[in-house]
Amino acid sequence: MRLPEAGTIWMDGTLVPWAEARVHVLSHALHYGTAVLEGTNVYETPEGPAVFRLDDHLARLYRSAKIISLAVPYGYHELRAATLRTVAANGLRSCYIRHLVHRGYGEMGISARNCPVSVSIAAWEWGAYLDDGVRLMTSSWRRNDPAVVPTLAKATGPYLNSVLAKAEALDAGFDEAVLLNAAGHVSECTGANLFMISDGVLVTPPDSAGALAGITQDTVERLAFDLGLPTRRRDILRAELYTAEEVFLCGTAAGIVPVASVDHREIDPEGPVTAKLKHAYDAAVHGHDPRHRDWLTLVG
Ligand code: PMP
């Protein structure tokens, strides 16, 4: 995905021109992965552009920062207002928002506790990055182990694991990788959570499997509740995916994406449960489901 070269990015309190949103090459985060991030979407709704589950994304950003001991130098309401301001200033009606909190320039060394912490917010149009009917490959890389890095924090350093798995899958001619944890259970994909439908039940791995606590994953479970579909969080064996009735990925940037095969075992990408959930998700994000109006924050 190419980034736009115009627009403004919020950096530590100021909206700066896109090309000037730079950091120093000796920034701590660049060397040691000490940053946390969020990806949030804005959708068109009948009331105007609205951010989907903004408070949940911001809450996760602060939780991620706390886990890796980054003191966010801005209060919640300040960052919330800055997020809406960034989207509005760029005149975007539907877009992706990237928050980044990183340890910056000032000191070198692993601890570098005196490095300043910087916050930036960028927004741009980002279309679907995975087409329906994804072909998954089980990665030879295991998912980050929660005993090695805190997988509940959406931190940049651990994304190297995703980058390696994604490259391996693309090089092998697949669309996306599914990562197993150290115990051999399914964890998640490189930038999305995973569900399978097995005996009519929607099953997704628990956070303890090394997966990110996905906001779309939570949204899917709530929509499933509305639809009367049973859900369960439990460990999933690799081979269970091969015989599942349906499999789909879900994430902010991805949306809900049906899977067409796992390690060349075919799965119906047009299954009825995935289709129902996709429809419900579309309705919720676009403001057509009054039960979930509180998930939307108008850009204003
Ligand atoms: N897992 C990983 C590794 C991710 O990068 C993402 C995208 N943020 C997700 C899961 C899905 O999370 P969410 O639904 O909150 O976007």
Judge whether 296 lies within some domain: no
In a domain, 292, yes or no: no
- For residue 168, what are its two tokens? 């391996």
State the pLDDT at residue 127.
80
pLDDT digits (tens, 9 = 90+) for 63-106: 999 999 999 999 999 999 999 999 999 999 999 999 999 999 99
Asked whether residue 2 is domain-assigned, the answer is no
CATH number of the domain within which 206 lies: 3.20.10.10
Q: What is the DSSP-derived secondary structure letter of residue 68?
A: T
- Residue 149 sits in the same domain as residue 271: yes
Is the domain of 176 the same as that of 65? no
Positions in the chain whose pLDDT score sits under 50 = none
Atom of ligand 1 nearest to the CA of 38: 8
Q: Residue 296 forms beta bridges with which residues?
A: 52
Verify whether ligand 1 is closer than 6 Å to residue 188 (CB atom): yes
Nearest CA to ligand 1 atom 2: 191
Q: Is 154 annotated as catalytic?
A: yes
Candidates 176, 15, 37, 16; CA nearest to 102 is: 37
In this structure, are residues 273 and 245 in contact, taking their beta carbons and an 8 Å threshold?
A: yes
Instruction: Pick from 190, 219, 252, 295 the residue to mutate for probing ligand 1's pocket: most ligand atoms within 8 Å of its CB.
Output: 252
151 CB within 6 A, ligand 1: no
CATH number, domain with residue 26: 3.30.470.10
CA geometry: angle 65, 67, 69, nearest 5 deg? 65
| Same domain? 85 vs 171 | no
> Residues in the chain, how many?
300
294 belongs to a structural domain: no
Last residue of a domain, one of 73, 104, 124: 124
| pLDDT for 128 | 77
Is residue 291 assigned to a domain? no
Q: Which domain holds residue 14?
A: 8-124
